[in-house]
Chain A
């Protein structure tokens, strides 16, 4: 099982406390760069990174701390929903159109026109080109800064919106967009049982909250355990996030959970470089212990 670095604390996202005053972006990103450099040194080579406004500054800070020729991977999370939400709140759906830009929309015109129902599509609407546009905008920025991209992650708000409306065809469009760019799709969800029972074709990663407390494990820990223990198609992966339940449990207790054996990777997020080393050490010990048990 490998470790993927999470970015929540770099942007002040915390599911344990509601009101945390943010430090300046400069301070947060310098601290983040130290965490990323430490992670890279001990073999944690991937950061799942939400495309918050200004995330490029974090990459610029990290680039300064990484060795030349590094192969550190950024797995961008797209789109950033708060930007879209604010655009709609301010100017309605037309605000969203303005935000995306007329030039950008022109390139995905047929996709959007079909989505809006002007021309029917017998195979269902997929929005593949729209997803390609959204992904490529971020890929360009990330690759221009010398980072590798092997995965693109769909934000859980979008994944879960589409799952709730049974629009697997549109999720399939995201999978297809990633495939055509040679990267692996990651569907982030907070409704794991629903996502794992949906009929989504192709090789993809399902990434969701999993912890032994059941915090944010929806609809229930029992149902998600049942879902992750079902046989999987080759090529599909499971990544667990929030295994420490936002800090409510320690890594020692969290790693005792044998259900973690069902996962290919776990996300770990911290602002302290030493904690990355501690966590990776604990995970390695767990691996040795599990191997011995087997």
Chain B
């Protein structure tokens, strides 16, 4: 029996996730429905996705049976529209994917779009850190993309900044590799948050959670790199472990460097990276988020506080 998938917001991420879902399940095994008020988006969907059907928000509002008929919902509309849509899903039993940032407490059948939680080397690092006492985490994102230069569309507004586009990616990556599941467990008022810099293309902040100090640097509009790159340094009592999604190395030579190619990793359908496919596999038939909903909520509240909100 075909799976019914509703995609709410057929922009860049809606298209990307649609393709990966189709690749994983097989195009013949899935029926896509798209809800998007944009004329261009609907035409692109009609041109690319065989047999796609369109629904309006009004139809979804007035027809609970229609909403209940979907197996999966991909909520990839801009962030400021998601709350309203999620309110329609009271009692929905299928799985819901909410693109990041989510800014809500996700329910048991809801999953966030923080894709770095699903990087294939994360479990290797988590295992490596097991039993170690972590004292400090320094995480840096550097990207060639510029947010200052975005002058139109919703990304030109408050969510279009390196803080909101990448802050959650960096912090969810950190949360996914640390063995302590209590990370991001405290309210912002209790973590000694210190903001050193904040603009659309730069954010530097630090905080203390438990006995661990976290230092986060987010740098956009850099000509040093070709694409977004991540550098995480985890200091323990015994070591300084470096991780960049592709390799894990010991600063003190305590173990041989582990590189992604040596793991021989492959995925059921590759489009944008292993992590994107693994994320959709976790959504379709896996354990959803690595982090708990409360952790994601706390993590995002830190980002909002850095941005000057409450």
Contact = CB atoms under 8 A, between A and B. Distances in A.
A164 B22 contact: yes
The winner among A11, A115, A216, A247 for most chain B CB atoms within 10 A is: A216
A80 to B, nearest CB: 12
Contacts of B264: 213-215, 221, 245
Contact of B270 (A13, A115, A117, A191): A191
Interface in A76-90: 82, 85-86, 88-90
B27 A19 contact: no
Contact of B23 (A19, A92, A163): A163
24 contacts: A11-B226, A15-B246, A15-B260, A16-B246, A17-B259, A22-B226, A86-B145, A90-B153, A93-B44, A94-B40, A117-B46, A157-B272, A161-B271, A164-B271, A165-B19, A165-B22, A165-B27, A213-B262, A215-B262, A216-B261, A218-B266, A219-B266, A245-B262, A248-B261
A213 B266 CA distance: 10
A167 B19 CA distance: 11
Contact of A164 (B27, B40, B260): B27
B142 interface: yes
Given A11-B226, A21-B225, A190 B270 contact: yes
A213 B268 contact: no
A194 to B, nearest CB: 7
B61 interface: no
B47 interface: yes
Interface residues of B, number: 51
Given A19-B231, A22-B224, A82-B227, A92 B153 contact: yes
Interface string B231-265: 10000000000001111000000000001111111
A20 to B, nearest CB: 8
Contact of B266 (A19, A89, A157, A214): A214
B48 interface: yes
Interface range, A side: 35 or more
B11 interface: yes
B142 A90 contact: no
A94 B225 CA distance: 27
Interface string B144-171: 0100001011010000000000000000
A74 B36 CA distance: 41
A190 B270 CA distance: 6
Contact of B261 (A90, A91, A92, A213): A213
A85 B267 CA distance: 23
A116 B43 CA distance: 5
A160 interface: yes
Contacts of B152: 90-91
B230 interface: yes
B244 A18 contact: yes
A251 interface: no
B65 interface: no
B41 interface: yes
A91 to B, nearest CB: 6
A125 B260 CA distance: 39
A15 B229 CA distance: 12
B12 A85 contact: yes
Contacts of A91: 152-153
A17 B266 contact: no
B269 to A, nearest CB: 6
Contacts of A19: 142, 225, 229-231, 244
A248 B46 CA distance: 42
A26 interface: no
Most buried by B among A16, A18, A216, A219: A18
Interface in B206-229: 223-227, 229
B189 interface: no
A218 B246 contact: no
Given A157-B271, A165-B48, A220 B266 contact: yes
Contact of B47 (A125, A163, A191): A125
B50 interface: yes
Most B C-beta atoms less than 10 A away, residue of A164, A190, A220: A164
Interface in A1-44: 11-13, 15-22
A78 B28 CA distance: 28
B245 A18 contact: yes
